[in-house]
Amino acid sequence: MALRIGVIGAGRIGKVHAETLVTRVPGVQLIAVADVISAAAEELAARLHIPVATADYRDIIRDTSIDAIAICSATDTHSPIIIEAAQAGKQIFCEKPIDLNLARIDGALEAVEKARVKLQIGFNRRFDANYARVRQAIQTGEIGDLHMLHIISRDPAPPPISYIKVSGGIFLDMSIHDFDMARFLTGSDAVEIYTVAGVKVDPAIGDAGDVDTAFMVMKFVNGATVTIDNSRKAVYGYDQRVEAFGSGGSISTDNQYPNAATISTGQHIRRDLPLNFFMERYTASYENEMRAFVDAITNNKPVPVTGHDGRVPVVMGLAAKKSHVEGRPVRLNEIS
Ligand SMILES: NC(=O)c1ccc[n+]([C@@H]2O[C@H](COP(=O)([O-])OP(=O)(O)OC[C@H]3O[C@@H](n4cnc5c(N)ncnc54)[C@H](O)[C@@H]3O)[C@@H](O)[C@H]2O)c1
């Protein structure tokens, strides 16, 4: 029997997950969608033929015919919804970050453990074929002993200021994917983070108490040095690259493009811009993560991205922020 699922939040990522579940994931039926903006839920339900649209996510949690939920609503709603859903016995997929506050994260993880339900966190980049190949090269020793890892992660344009205000800021909203990537690729954990950051893209982001340009240098337990380079605005599109360098060589990944054509003229040799943002660039990864979630529930396997995997990058984000504010390297054990 198909797994019956409800999506909570019909914004940017809720739409991506709903469409993925309806069109590309076998063994699942999307039964309901909730959004406090009823029109958003109704529009999505109508477009994808989802039977139920509601403004109240509790309608989904109370529906005993629904097995699992995908939490895609604003960040500050995640941990309370996890707790209610766990208590109702739902299997849970939750977007990153679990919460901006570690005590609230711990409360949510405790509720999950107590209810013995599954919780998978939405670090979708782990399911991208490029990063999986880099991880393989590092983990199998194909490039020898890892010395350095460089992660470049720049968005094509900043989100609205209203989003920035509830997102937790660049370190907990955007860099968090790169912190997870650093853990995933190295198979290790950070010991210390030093951040240099500022406002270069839009002064309104600074007025909202955030930064839009950040560079982080980290020491890892396995001895590797990891850098993360973030910008909220790359004029040429979504810039997502990594390079790993080790004693036996290196491995790197490039951006992805809508086509592989090269245009040569008397003045230039050029190509089209890379895929513009996460909805296009990471389409396959969203499908793979949802297939993995459904597989974990249907076949009672461990989820591939756990609550612990969701918590650690929040600790890293808090350390990166503290480092920026205090202008010094911060050890992770100062945070947790
Ligand atoms: N993994 C990824 O690639 C990825 C990408 C984007 C966003 N995200 C994460 O997903 C979450 C949502 O981000 P977004 O970009 O879609 O934001 P968004 O603002 O586009 O959408 C959020 C939606 O949630 C709705 N909402 C808020 N509170 C609600 C509630 N109590 N019940 C039901 N709906 C509620 C809002 O009305 C809005 O429609 C954030 O936590 C963000 O960090 C993850």
List pLDDT tens digits, range 129-187: 999 999 999 999 999 999 999 999 999 999 999 999 888 999 999 999 999 999 999 99
Please state the rounded mean pLDDT for residues 288-304: 98
CATH superfamily of 128-281+313-334: Dihydrodipicolinate Reductase; domain 2 (3.30.360.10)
User: Residue 93: what pLDDT?
Assistant: 98
Q: Going by C-beta distance under 8 Å and a sequence separation of 6 or more, which residues neighbour residue 284?
A: 127, 128, 129
Nearest CA to ligand 1 atom 18: 11
In SS3 terms, the chain reads as CCEEEEEECCCHHHHHHHHHHHHHCCCEEEEEEECCCHHHHHHHHHHHCCCEEECCCHHHHHCCCCCEEEECCCHHHHHHHHHHHHHCCCEEEECCCCCCCHHHHHHHHHHHHHHCCCEEECCHHHHCHHHHHHHHHHHCCCCCCEEEEEEEEECCCCCCHHHHHHHCCHHHHCHHHHHHHHHHHHCCCEEEEEEEEECCCCHHHHHCCCCCEEEEEEEECCCCEEEEEEECCCCCCCEEEEEEEECCEEEEECCCCCCCCCEECCCCEECCCCCCCHHHHCHHHHHHHHHHHHHHHHCCCCCCCCHHHHHHHHHHHHHHHHHHHHCCCEEHHHCC
pLDDT tier at 328 (50, 70, 90 boundaries)? very high
Centre of ligand 1 to C-alpha 245, Å, is 36
**Residue 318: per-residue pLDDT:** 98
Atom 6 of ligand 1, residue of closest alpha carbon: 13
Q: What is the pLDDT of residue 167?
A: 86
Q: Residue 336 pLDDT more than 80?
A: no
Lowest mean pLDDT among 34-48, 98-112, 153-167: 153-167
pLDDT score at 330:
98
**What's the mean pLDDT when you consider all of the chain?**
97
Specify the CATH number for 3-117; select among 3.40.50.720, 1.25.40.10, 3.30.70.580, 3.90.79.10: 3.40.50.720
Q: Is the CB of 80 within 6 Å of ligand 1? A: no
8 Å CB contact between 172 and 314? yes
pLDDT digit string, tens, across residues 43-75 = 999 999 999 999 999 999 999 999 999 999 999
Distance 313 CA to ligand 1 centre (A): 19
Task: Look at residue 166 in the predicted model and tell me its pLDDT.
Answer: 84
The boundaries of every CATH 3.30.360.10 domain in the chain are 128-281+313-334
pLDDT at position 311 over 80: yes
> Quick one: which atom of ligand 1 is closest to the CA of 10?
39
Mean pLDDT (whole number) for 264-291: 95
pLDDT at 1: 81
Residues of the chain with CATH 3.40.50.720: 3-117
Confidence band for 88, pLDDT divided at 50, 70 and 90 = very high
Distance 67 CA to ligand 1 centre (A): 21
pLDDT at 53: 98
Q: Is 155 exposed, middle or buried (0-12, 13-18, 19+ CB in 10 A)?
A: buried
